[in-house]
A and B are shown apart, each in its own frame.
Chain A
Amino acid sequence: MTAFFSGVGVILSLELRQRVRTVSWYILLGVFVGLIFIVTVLLSFALNGFGSPNDGGGGVYSTIIYFVLLLGTLVAPALSGNAINGDRDAGTLATTQVTLITTGQLIMGKFLSAWITALAFLGAAVPFLIYAAVVGQLRVSTIVVSIIVLAVELGVVAAVGVGLSGLMTRPLFSIVVTYLVVAALSVGTLIAFTLGGLALQTTAKSVSSYGTEYNADGIPTQCSTPEEYEYQTPRFDLFWGALVANPYVILADAVPTAYDANDQPTDLFGYLKLSVRSAQLPQDQGFSYNGCVVGEKDSYPDTPSARSIIESTTPGWAVGLATHLVLAGGLLAGAWARTKTPAAKLSRGSRIA
């Protein structure tokens, strides 16, 4: 095992020196920090205009961490998407493969290097996150969990990039496809959720009755004939799996929610989590409106509190994260199979004689 990891270490160190210690990388990091700085300053001013400083901090914090996720997932494919096929193009892959470095060590080293490189961007953003957290008086658990989820998500993108670079021959294609995967997860999941839910509509039945005569206490003494009618309702509850595969949703869902006295969430992540969890609730049950019962005061059906919805539904972040880890692991395994030597199959377009 030690031998395996020392081989991984050699590849990791080589990759970091090759790809990271270049002027353009530092420029990219500088631009990244500059953007986050600008966004933080502008948001601080913008949100200070609304009420309490608490909400301001929470808002800034949520937005900054989303911004870090956005930029991180935009940078990571460029850093990882040509890890293997780029080396093949440069003629340095085969000279590594004839050494005692195994394919597993090679891919693990390249993946770790891409991940660490992406984490450097997260690291550069941490001071801004801490600033927002302090100003917003956020709980430590919120900060820690969101940084961990961010780090894992950047790892997923790095793994997708390295995996695709092993599966595809041309570096340009694998980088573009990595971006498409990121786009599919960030935007495609929302589209799939919305369109899927709208396309699969089911008929729900609604019953409504109301009091026609009331006594002095306001209690109905006579009710109207219950009216039934049917209507189409979208089935978002069947597609919440697509929604939780969204990295932004995973992030919001994973952060532990703080509730106020009315059991309502206190920050933006909490509200997002509530709406995502509500999507899990079955929507095909009909509802009764103002179910009028003779002799009983009009009762309105209780709407469940935010806390009870969140606590009674499946933790979507775990499902989403599991989906991502399976995707990342599958692509890395595919790259391993494709890069293994002695090769039984050569990728299309390789020079043969």
Chain B
Amino acid sequence: MLNPMTSVETAHIAPVPNGVPHSGIAVEHVGRSFGEVHAVRDASLIAEPGTVTGLIGPNGSGKTTLLLMLASLVKPDVGSIRISGHDPVTETAAVRARLGWMPDVLGSWSSLSVRDTLIYTARMYAMDKTAAAARAAELIRLVDLPELADSPTRVLSRGQKQRLSLARALVHEPDVLLLDEPASGLDPVARAGLRILLRRLASEGKTVLVSSHVLSELDEMADGAVYISTGVTASAEALARSRASARPWRIRSSDVVALRAALVADGIDEEAIATDRTELLVALESEAAASALLARLVAAGVPISTFAPAVGDLEHTFIDLSAEDSK
């Protein structure tokens, strides 16, 4: 089961000891403003090698700016960033050699073929022509674009461009991957393919940071998540509070009347039971409370066909933190 707090907790409970290089991504109190706009105010996160970390936040929360700073394209005003132990500002080339970045803007050299695009990208990483061609062929198979390999990139659909963009980020076999909204525009099959690919890359020891606001999708692939809102990453305390807060569970029964009666009998306030079509929604404090309730309902002879959290873990935390923000 996914634990959304893992990586953030690691960041706060076990900070990187000074002087010891961290092989994944380490960000400490980074801020960046553009004129009057404070795009990122105070972001801290750690992403460990071998994991997929989600970067979650509402539109305009500073996700892309944070990724641009990690990708060595924008200089932070304050704070420090380490990519595989290197500082993108002072050791730019070392960072770029180890970093793959897939932007949210899908640009491609429109008159070049998919294969040539990958060959040129490889050569920009100082690969020779033979190595570049071999790597391009490998990546075309990996992202499943063989039948379009020699078509110009302008004929690609959005989802196909997305896959080309991912292949481009992987050209030099980077240790750290930054993916900005990689799944938008992908069909379900390609999405599943992306999930499997990212898990495999993580299992090979790479550090993967994925930004998205499609939370159900991150739920399926991320080991941990970092929440960012109005340019600030969520603190460990806020996350702990959110984890402790009650969350809705969805219960379905063929006998809704009996279910409602059983819930009321179990001591749940009738007012607190929400009805969603044929299902009832009940707020429960924890997994343990849910297990106990399910056991009691089954013991009481209520026919239960569904008993599950109404929202994913990430979504729950996300909504909870957003609500906290607006308070």
Contacts and interface: CB of A to CB of B under 8 A. Distances in A.
A352 B73 contact: no
Range of interface residues on B (Cβ < 8 Å)? 35 or more
Contacts, number: 94
A101 B124 contact: yes
A100 B60 CA distance: 29
B124 A99 contact: yes
A244 to B, nearest CB: 41
A84 B34 CA distance: 21
Interface stretch (A197-205, A228-236, A318-326, A342-350): A342-350
B39 interface: yes
B37, B92, B116, most chain A CB atoms within 10 A: B92
A92 B72 contact: no
A90 B107 contact: yes
A262 interface: no
A100 B75 contact: no
A100 B125 contact: yes
B27 interface: no
Interface stretch (A13-21, A50-58, A120-128, A159-167): A13-21
B94 to A, nearest CB: 10
Nearest to B40: A353
B84 interface: no
B75 A98 contact: no
Contacts of B125: 99-100
Interface stretch (B61-69, B192-200, B264-272, B281-289): B61-69
B121 A342 contact: no
Interface stretch (A2-10, A66-74, A170-178): A2-10
Contact of B74 (A10, A14, A346): A346
A353 B65 contact: yes
A341 B107 contact: no
Contact of A353 (B62, B93, B121): B62
Range of interface residues on A (Cβ < 8 Å)? 20 to 34
B201 interface: no
Contacts of A14: 109, 112, 120
Interface in B116-131: 116, 120-121, 123-126
B72 A91 contact: no
Contact of B107 (A7, A95, A346): A95
A342 B91 CA distance: 11
A21 B121 contact: no
A4 to B, nearest CB: 11
Contacts of A3: 126
Nearest to B73: A341
10 contacts: A17-B111, A17-B116, A21-B111, A91-B106, A94-B103, A94-B105, A100-B125, A352-B65, A353-B60, A353-B61
Given A10-B120, A346-B74, 13 more contacts: A10-B124, A14-B109, A17-B116, A18-B109, A21-B111, A95-B103, A96-B124, A98-B72, A99-B121, A342-B89, A344-B75, A352-B65, A353-B61
Interface of A: 3, 6-7, 10, 13-14, 17-18, 21-22, 87, 90-102, 341-344, 346, 351-353
Interface of B: 34, 37, 39, 60-65, 69, 71-75, 88-89, 92-93, 96-97, 99, 101, 103, 105-112, 116, 120-121, 123-126, 165, 168, 172
